[in-house]
Amino acid sequence: MAYKMPTQKYSGKILEVNVGSDLKLGGESVLPFYSFDGDIGNKPAIGMEIWDIFPESWPAGVLDVFKEVADDPVKWAKHCIEKYNPDFICIKFEGASPDGLNKSVEECAKVAKRLAENVSVPLVIAGCSNNEKNAKLFTKIAEALPNKSYVFLSAVESNYKEVAAAVGLAYGNIVAAESSVDLNLAKQLNILITQLGVKPDKMVMNPGCAAVGYGFEYAVTTMDRIRLAALEQNDATLQMPMILPVSFESWKVKESVVSEEEIPEWGPQEERGIAMEISTAVGVLTAGANAVILRHPRSVEVIRNFITEMTE
Amino acid sequence: MALNGMQIYKLLPRKNCKECGFPTCLAFAMKLAQGGTEAEKCPYMSDEAKAQLAEATAPPMKTVKFGANDTEYTLGGETVLFRHEKTFVNRPRFAIMFSDIMAQEEIEKKINNINTINYTRINEEMYVEIAAFRCESQDKDRFISLIKKVTESCPKVVPMIITESPEIAEAAVGICADKGPILFGANEQNYEAMTDLAKENKLLLGVTADGKENLYTLVQKLQNTGYKELLLDAGSRNLKGAFDDMVNIRRTALLSGDRTFGYPAVAFVCDMSQDKMMQLACASLFIEKYASIIVLSDMDYSMALPLFALRQNIFTDPQRPMRIEQGIYKVGSADEESPLLVTVDFALTYFIVSGEVERSKVPSWILIPDAGGYSVLTAWAAGKFNAKSIAKAVKEFEVENKVKTRELIIPGKVAVLKSDIEDELPGWKVTVGTEEAAALPNFLKKYKAKEAAS
Ligand code: B12
Ligand code: SF4
């Protein structure tokens, strides 16, 4: 008997979403990287994370790389684009946090506008940890940057109405729907946002991220299930591309923050942070992420290499 | 392929003697088809019928073993393609590649790394399980001395002997048979001799061919010899090709139900890139997607930490959440003056927190209330970790009789609970701890110093 390779052909397809002017996410009709089954769509995209304020709290392993440029987001973004060539820049408005500097939304919008005018790649706008403030922040930034098709990270259960209305409906940008590691919650939020009138191809999802070793299996399983529902059952409410802010999680766990003096046998701190970021990124890409957000240039280089080898 | 009740019935002696405990042979056959009884219960079945039945009722992917005694490992036996469908059962094992034409310093460095990586994460001991030896010199003595050197320096590793020469293989097996090595390199030309050697020593046999089609034919030949302790390699040494092999070998077994590929497979990540971080990326992929042995060039702590953590996560049984028993736990020689911390009953969280408390060398108490088995924020968001559940635990576990302190350290992520808890527990003071447990050693040392000063 000769070998017969099994294939999995699906009726569903992930939507193709245009970010900025020419970055395309999604479009695949098979499981992640299953080119032997069919069309794998667009290559997963890589973004680099920057902050609106100097990232004092970043562990030394990654702060040292950017400390010369991190005092100004435009300088920082340009540095990243010129040296590391990311597909997009993710600016996180940490300075907007009411628990921190509590910068006004007007001030943040100015930063976003200045950034948009000075960079050649699309932006992903991420908020702070306060969902109420984010609703106002996103509204203001979307207003300042209308019809850019930038991604706003994220609309959550408690603020999706305001975020979707401003970002998706009034000002023509892309809404990222963020849920907490649960297929049903992801589905429900997508439905609510589309019911407001946001077109599914103006949306992406963040189904919840974690670093490897820290409840990561729940993140992977949720993503697996979302992808199978989208492809196998052709569930249109789950066919948006997924974006995972890997760096938000991977740089705060012990492996990345403990210094070499504290645990000498673990070796250089920078290497550990990079390794946690790479492993987490590959972990979510393998489960269906269409875009990942990273911090360290070395992670960007390796993940790009990984994606190229898996797709070409 | 599975047999139905009628097909099984035809294999039975049809005596209706009831010795199996069933009224008729047919009833027995029906039950057997559902997996509700065992073939052994019928004393009159022919050996041939038994073999046929065993074949028909065997799982789609064989479970195999390698190693010996304390370092014996199980591979394969997977029944699903995605962990949510049931669970993944046998985690992949990591191997470090040695070659007999490698420079001495390089060999020493790898030996040193293997012996350095050794730690416990959530009750699981983490270390490199396998040393792979590739014979490139074609010089038997040189190869043997490499295996000797490494296995003597790293007593825990199980050798994986990689050669296509049955003669060299035999000599290598000769010096480490007691360790239950993996014998790798049965191919189209040598498979008869290699199978004999594996059979004789009961070894897991690695089968290699150029491409899935050739591998498939080769495995069929091997199976005809009756030896089924196999490990598969379809030959790809680039990432994309190896991913294709890994996914399709697994799908052939589980989706097509074709047992020719119903064996675990090996990924030679060491040949896919020279860059350590790229090897880490490849290995992460193959943990999620279906490798049973992952061979790396080398491994240091920066690679071990994410790889072992990812493996531990992916191979957690989703139907059995890791929960820790509620109660009050002592870390170190805590006495009634020692600090008291509270965390949740999610095993992952508990082990991380208790590990950090241990590292601080400040003897402490850890209180575990009923938090639904969730992480700190999950439990808080689900309404399971709050002032009420914490106060209840303080009473239930008679904390006030065990410690003199009336101060409770709570996780930084739930700082909002402070005043609620103080309301629920009159006479108690709540201190907000750090957000991440990694900062606990410093926090506890300062906490202790402050207490001593006051
Ligand atoms: C895995 C996960 C789940 C799993 C649960 C697994 C489990 N057994 O806990 C599942 C999928 C079931 C789940 C469910 C939910 N989840 Co959940 N989940 C996560 C996820 C991805 C990881 C959590 C984890 O395992 N962390 C690792 C452990 C080790 O962290 P930890 O317990 O916090 O411990 C650390 C620190 O707190 C500290 N620490 C711990 N104890 C102590 C004690 C002291 C004294 C000190 C000083 C420090 C300390 O040390 C540890 C290491 O640093 C997070 C997102 C994320 N990336 O964190 C969301 C997250 C926690 N979940 C969230 C939510 C909302 C939920 C749900 C309520 C969603 C819903 N509406 O249904 C449900 C609740 C369950 C239910 N249905 O009733 C939110 C919480 C939001 C918030 N800020 O309140 C999060 C943050 C996701 C998000 N961004 O929205 N979740
Ligand atoms: S013991 Fe065997 S022969 Fe006797 S009734 Fe049962 S199945 Fe039939």
Q: Please give, rounded to a whole number of angstroms, the shortest distance from the CA of A231 to a CA of chain B.
A: 15
**3-state class (DSSP) for residue A54:** coil
- CATH number, domain of B87, equals 3.20.20.20
Q: Are residues B78 and B46 in the same domain?
A: no
Comparing alpha-carbon positions, the chain B residue that sits nearest to A264 is B301
Cβ neighbourhood burial of B24 (10 Å; 0-12, 13-18, 19+)? middle
Contacts of B152 (CB under 8 A, 6+ apart): none
Long-range contacts of B178-182 (CB under 8 A, 24+ apart): B178/B68, B179/B67, B179/B68, B179/B71, B179/B151, B180/B65, B180/B66, B180/B67, B180/B68, B180/B71, B180/B72, B180/B204, B181/B66, B182/B66, B182/B130, B182/B158, B182/B206, B182/B231, B182/B293
**Boundary (domain end) residue, out of B315, B342, B373:** B315
Look at A217 and B313 and tell me if their CB atoms are within 8 Å. Answer: yes
Supply the pLDDT for residue A149: 98
**Does B376 belong to an annotated binding site?**
yes
Alpha helices in B315-437 (DSSP H): 347-360, 376-381, 387-396, 399-402, 418-424
Supply the pLDDT for residue B2: 64
Supply the pLDDT for residue A89: 98
Supply the pLDDT for residue B454: 75
Residue B310 included in any domain:
yes
Supply the pLDDT for residue A132: 97
Does the domain at residues A15-310 carry the CATH identifier 3.40.50.300?
A: no
Q: Please give, rounded to a whole number of angstroms, the shortest distance from the CA of B176 to a CA of chain A.
A: 31
Q: Are residues B49 and B70 in the same domain?
A: no
Supply the pLDDT for residue B240: 98
Q: Are residues B98 and B236 in the same domain?
A: yes
The B residues from 103 to 122 touching A (CB cutoff 8 Å) are 116, 121
**Does B375 belong to an annotated binding site?**
yes
CA distance B207 to B185: 6
* Chain B CB contacts of A215 below 8 Å: 313, 348, 375, 378
Question: Which residue has the least CA distance to atom 48 on ligand 1?
Answer: B411
| pTM of the shown model | 0.94
- Please, are residues B158 and B66 in contact by the beta-carbon 8 Å criterion? yes
Q: Are residues B260 and B297 in the same domain?
A: yes
Residue B118 included in any domain:
yes
Residues of chain B with pLDDT under 70: 1-2
User: Is B87 in CB contact (< 8 Å) with chain A?
Assistant: no
**Does B373 belong to an annotated binding site?**
yes
> How many domains are contained in chain B?
3
CA distance A52 to A70: 9
- List pocket residues of ligand 2, CB cut-off 6 Å: B 12-13, 15-20, 22, 25, 28, 42, 44
Q: Are residues B44 and B128 in the same domain?
A: no
- What does residue B220 show for φ and ψ, rounded to 5 degrees? -60, -40
* Chain A CB contacts of B439 below 8 Å: 257
Q: Are residues B363 and B267 in the same domain?
A: no
Residue B87 included in any domain:
yes
**Boundary (domain end) residue, out of B256, B281, B315:** B315
Q: Are residues B347 and B387 in the same domain?
A: yes
User: Is B432 in CB contact (< 8 Å) with chain A?
Assistant: no
Q: Are residues B300 and B412 in the same domain?
A: no
- CATH number, domain of B447, equals 3.40.50.11600
Q: Domain residues of chain A, as ranges?
A: 15-310
Q: Which of B84, B217, B378 is closest, CB to CB, to A224?
A: B84
Residue B285 included in any domain:
yes
Cβ neighbourhood burial of A287 (10 Å; 0-12, 13-18, 19+)? buried
Question: Which residue has the least CA distance to atom 33 on ligand 1?
Answer: B376
Q: Are residues B348 and B234 in the same domain?
A: no
- CATH number, domain of B38, equals 1.10.15.40
Alpha-carbon distances of B345 from A122, B61, B368, B436, B443, rounded to whole Å = 43, 35, 6, 17, 22
Look at A215 and B352 and tell me if their CB atoms are within 8 Å. Answer: no
Contacts of B251 (CB under 8 A, 6+ apart): A6, A8, B81
- What does residue A110 show for φ and ψ, rounded to 5 degrees? -65, -45
**What ipTM does this complex have?**
0.96
CA atoms within a 13 Å half-sphere pointing along the CA-CB vector of B381: 10
Q: Are residues B307 and B431 in the same domain?
A: no
Residues of chain A with pLDDT under 50: none
Alpha-carbon distances of B163 from A109, B43, B136, B187, B205, rounded to whole Å = 64, 45, 8, 10, 12
Residue B433 included in any domain:
yes
- Please, are residues B301 and B368 in contact by the beta-carbon 8 Å criterion? no
Residue B320 included in any domain:
no
Q: Are residues B131 and B10 in the same domain?
A: no
Residue B48 included in any domain:
yes
- Please, are residues B111 and B154 in contact by the beta-carbon 8 Å criterion? yes
Q: Please give, rounded to a whole number of angstroms, the shortest distance from the CA of A145 to a CA of chain B.
A: 34
CA distance B247 to B313: 20
- DSSP-derived secondary structure for B305-325: HHHHHHHHHHTS-TTS--B--
Q: Are residues B145 and B283 in the same domain?
A: yes
User: Is B301 in CB contact (< 8 Å) with chain A?
Assistant: yes
Q: Which of B220, B252, B309 is closest, CB to CB, to A6?
A: B252
Residue-range definition of the domain harbouring residue B447: 327-452
pLDDT per residue as tens digits for the range A249-297: 999 999 999 999 999 999 999 999 999 999 999 999 999 999 999 999 9
Supply the pLDDT for residue A121: 98
